[in-house]
Amino acid sequence: MKRKHLEERFFLFLMIVSMVVVVGSLLLILGTVLARGLPALDWAMLTQTPQGGYYLGKEGGILNAITGSLALAGGATALSFAMGLAVALHLQNLSSRWAHLVRLSLDVLWGVPSIVYGAFGFTLMLLLGLRSSLLGGIMALALLELPVMVRAMDEVLLMVPFELKEASYAVGATRFETAVKVLVRQAMPGLLTAVLLGLGRGIGDAASVLFTAGYTDRLPTSLLRPVASLPLAVFFQLGTPVPEVRERAYAAALVLTAIVLAISLLARLLSRRLERHVIR
């Protein structure tokens, strides 16, 4: 065989090995979480808050963390969506130089580590005189989700055909009416996907809520009180020396992974389903 064909075979082999490594590590992670989490998961884990002696292995569950995470990520996603949609719509009307600058800035924000958002949220809270609370967590997470959402919404808004906007302007609609009634409706599947992307990023993030949301054994009741969250439930429970509590960390990780995967599957399904209503 010629040398070039040998080389071809050799690199093809390496590529297939790499594919196996990458896909295999994904399966390994999911498999580990499932295998360790499932035996530790029971109904009480999902429906109870920590009772007395919970952190020594007595009864209770992680309902505080589940509801806390939903409240944090839900609030942050709502706030971030409201701000993000305005920014994404405004981007469509900016001159290309400014739009370019804003997009670059959002791309950079996307890369900012979440611990930095946590630290920034913390300085904001010092400024406002807030202590660690649901509100503080929501602010930090909303900022963390903002670049993901705006860039995703921006991408779909860019795909709306220019003729649709022209037609809308031609019948006398203002820019605002066109944005809300034509652009948003046309881009709806993409916007929903953007929201779910943001939600997925927000619910899994630990480093930013560490500073800002605190942790508690109670259910979230007030914006000004600390809340628990699933990622921190995993982290704190894994750090204890009691084996039963560590088991619960595995269960919490399984719940968190299941929620994140469900969100990402839902995003895929929804965008496919809703795409049928889009005018092309």
Partner 1 sequence: MGALTALAAALVPLIALALLMRARPLLQLAPLGELLTSTSWRPLRGEFGFWPFIVGTVWVTVLAMLLAVPPCLLCAIYLAEYAPRPLREAVKPLVDLLAGIPSVVYGLWGTLTVVPLVRDVLAPWAGTNLEFIPLLRADNPTGYSVLAGGVVLAVMVFPVIISTAEEVIRAVPDGLREATLALGATRWQMVKGVVLRRAMPGVIAAVVLGFSRAFGETMAVMMVVGNVAQIPRSIFDAAYPLSALIANNYGEMMSIPLYDAALLAAALILLLVVLVFTLLARVALLRAVRRAA
CA atoms of 227 and 132, how far apart (whole Å): 9
CB of 158 to partner 1, least distance (A): 15
Name which of 33 and 66 has its Cβ closer to partner 1. Answer: 33
Name which of 54 and 117 has its Cβ closer to partner 1. Answer: 117
Instruction: Output the six-digit token pair for 182.
Output: 């034509």
Beta-carbon contacts of 77 under 8 Å, excluding residues fewer than 6 positions away, are: 142, 145, 195, 198, 199, 202
CB 63 within 8 A of CB 48: yes
Name which of 17 and 170 has its Cβ closer to partner 1. Answer: 17
CB of 77 to partner 1, least distance (A): 15
CB 132 within 8 A of CB 211: yes
CB of 279 to partner 1, least distance (A): 25
CB 176 within 8 A of CB 112: no
CB of 78 to partner 1, least distance (A): 15
CB of 37 to partner 1, least distance (A): 9
Name which of 97 and 170 has its Cβ closer to partner 1. Answer: 97
- The CB-side HSE value for 222 (13 A sphere, CA atoms) comes to 5
Name which of 89 and 135 has its Cβ closer to partner 1. Answer: 89
φ, ψ of residue 16 to 5 degrees: the values are -65, -40
Name which of 106 and 157 has its Cβ closer to partner 1. Answer: 106
H helices, E strands: number in the chain: 13, 0
CB of 170 to partner 1, least distance (A): 23
Beta-carbon contacts of 225 under 8 Å, excluding residues fewer than 6 positions away, are: 133, 134, 216, 218
